[in-house]
Amino acid sequence: MTITYVRDINLEIGFSKADNFKNGRVYILQYRRFINGDEAALKEIYDEHSPLIMGLSRKLVGPEAEDLVQVVFLSAWSGRENFDPQKGSMKSWLCGITRFRAIDILRKKSRQPFSPVDNVESTTQTFNSLEVDLLVDSLVVHEALDELPEEKQRILKLGFIDQFSHSEIALKTGLPLGTVKSHIRRGLELLQKELGVSHVGI
């Protein structure tokens, strides 16, 4: 209870870069309300992020996606004091929770005895925990790239996905080499930060 005030100060002085690109003030207030236990703030967060979490859940556990989404947002609620907007975005944090809860579900499933009925019905792929990790990591990176302003996004994608060198990107975009380098360095730092918050279990 008493740490709430300290956390409020933290929320005032810094928040994740990815969220900063949007209307920072609104998000600070929303996170503060969320951490302080305002269910309306959870609903806002749910409305914004549940379609992505649902899509990820569908991919990971197929027919049990609805259950997983429910467990993810209940985990986020009960562990809301662990959310620190300075460490990464809400989206990455939620993706991280989905990662751990999906692995729980898949492990439980794999321990269940063989059922011919399930086998016939199941058309979805099942993943092991390494595959889940990789899928969630790439989603977090993809989403973090997506939140960046257009120019930074373009530069990072050219380097990251299309594997162009710094000077090739400078040539392609007409930007000074120094600008390209600093955009890429900061972009990679952001991606590392977002991946980090998605690996913290609650």
Partner 1 sequence: MLEYNDFSNVIRILENGDPYVVAEKPVPTVWDSIHASINVASDKVRLRVVENESKADPFVSRYLKVFALAACFVLFAFFGFFALQSSVPGSSAELLAVGSYEGLGSASLQSDTLIVEVNDLQAPPDHSYEVWLLETDASGEVVDLQTLGNINSASEFEVPAGIDTSKFSVVDISLEPNDGDTAHSGQSILRGKLT
Site string for partner 1, 154-183 (x = CB under 8 A): -----xxx-x--------------------
Is residue 55 near partner 1 by the rule CB under 8 A? yes
Least distance CB 122 / partner 1 (angstroms): 19
Q: b/e map of 6-30 (b: 16 or more CB within 10 Å)?
A: ebeeebeeebbbbbeeeeeeebbeb
Written as one letter, the residue type at 49 is H
The answer to whether the Cα torsion of 80, 86, 87, 90 is positive or negative is positive
CA neighbours closer than 13 Å in the CB half-sphere of residue 31: 29
The verdict on 128 binding partner 1 (CB under 8 A) reads no
Instruction: Pick the binder of partner 1 from 77, 154, 173, 179 (CB under 8 A).
Output: 77
**119 near partner 1, judged by CB under 8 A:** no
51 phi and psi angles, rounded to 5 deg: -60, -40
* Residue 141 found at the interface with partner 1 (CB under 8 A): yes
Measured CA to CA, the distance from residue 56 to residue 76 in angstroms comes to 16
Interface residues with partner 1 (CB under 8 A) are: 1-2, 4-5, 8, 36-37, 39, 42-43, 46, 50-52, 54-56, 58-59, 65-66, 69-70, 73-74, 77-78, 134-135, 137-139, 141-142, 159-161, 163, 185, 188-189, 191-192
